[in-house]
Structure 1
Amino acid sequence: MKTSADPVRDYLSAVEREASALPADRRQELLADLAEHIEVTRAERPEAALGEILAELGDPRAIAATALAEAGTGAAGAPAAGGAAPAPRRGKVHPLVPLLMIVLSLPFVMVLSEQPGPLFGGLFRIVGAVLLCTSVHWTAVQKTTGVLLTAVLPSVVIATWNLSSDASGGPVLLPNLVMLALMSAAAAWLWKVRRA
């Protein structure tokens, strides 16, 4: 049996095949969202195996079935029973949840500077970023910008600050407050541009 050199492409191709009843623009958006989610997850968890990340996303048939149900189309691509297609069902998670998880992760770390504060703060930020990436409330570009501004950039700045400061630890309040302001502004922007 021949194995593929690119499991991500195979996975996305399987989703595309299973979701062929979706309108082309919605199908492409779904594939872009999945590809972006895979890329972000690989960047956040470089130690995770690619197969593990793809398994966490779920079976391509289940993803396609969910997308078809949200679009109000049946297996043949026709509107659901009753003539008119129902309004697409939005994500199960309210759009405020990922934004709050991301923004509140930093104050959580600041208040609980000893363990388990940083662990839970990091976990909040990762879960918030994943919820943001898998949400239907933002476009792929908005999701990428949001994750970069609220999860990746603050982590890089704080890590750089910690590595460049002396052994005594130095004052970390200023960079934390700057990052909190950046994360809050990005979350406010994401809230403003979300899909209704």
Structure 2
Amino acid sequence: MNTTDRHPLVSAYLDAVARETAELPAERRAELLADLREHIEVSGAEDDARLRAVLAGLGEPRTVAASALAEEAPAGRAATAAPGRTKLTAVLLAVSGVLILFSSVVGAIALIAGLVLLWAAPQWETRDKIVGTGTAVAVPVLVLLGTLLGASSRLGPTELLLILAFALAVPAVGGTLLVRAARR
């Protein structure tokens, strides 16, 4: 530690950056502060005017912190996702299939809301979103095809049970996969 580290301007600047980066992992925050210290030290500035110029060149502590936090965002995206919203999205998509069988309006609303939440959420990759969408729309597509082909008049109890099992299982599997993917 050199004399520059003990200068009040440098201490205040580094403390401000440390406060602004409290959300960063401790190791990343320490690395950032060490880099800033090194840059200040290498500048050779020791008087107030030069130190102010060096610190101004680094940028405001809030700006430095925002840049560091933005760099961390992709790696920590699942951790920043709201767990309640993740579960709500998965549940809406998981129950939409059964709801469509019993009430097409309520099921459609649940499906649309779930898909909007799914595609707006940062915690899932595009692949996860496609799988979630596919499993959620499988039941409505099956119902629509059955209606268009006139199959509903020829359904017996066994076929109805199979459709109900499909309507329960496929969206539930999709919801489970989404919850697991959000934890990664």
TM-score between the two structures when normalised by the length of structure 2: 0.51
Q: How much does 1:107 deviate?
A: 2.6
Name the residue aligned to 2:97: 106
- Equivalent runs, 1:39-188 vs 2, <5 Å: 78-80=64-66, 85=69, 88=73, 89-91=80-82, 94-110=85-101, 113=102, 117-151=103-137, 153-166=138-151, 168=153, 170-171=155-156, 172-188=160-176
Query: How has the CA–CA distance of structure 1 residues 141 and 77 changed in structure 2, closer, same or farther, with 3 Å as cutoff?
Result: farther
| Aligned residue-pair number | 114
| Structure number with bigger Rg | 2
Q: How much does 1:131 deviate?
A: 0.4
Q: CA–CA distance in 2 between the matches of 1:156 and 1:84? A: 45
Work out the percentage of aligned pairs sharing the same amino acid.
Answer: 18
Name the residue aligned to 2:180: 192
TM-score between the two structures when normalised by the length of structure 1: 0.48
Q: CA–CA distance in 1 between the matches of 2:152 and 2:166? A: 22
How much is the aligned-residue C-alpha RMSD, in angstroms?
3.1
Point out where structure 2 has 5 or more consecutive residues left out of the alignment. 1-59, 74-79
Q: Residue by residue, what CA displacement relative to the aligned partner does 1:86-128 show, whole Å, maximum 9, x if unpaired?
A: 9754358620101111111233334xx3xxx210111101110
Q: CA–CA distance in 2 between the matches of 1:105 and 1:166? A: 21
Q: CA–CA distance in 1 between the matches of 2:128 and 2:179? A: 11
Please give the secondary structure, in 2, of the residue aligned with 1:94: helix
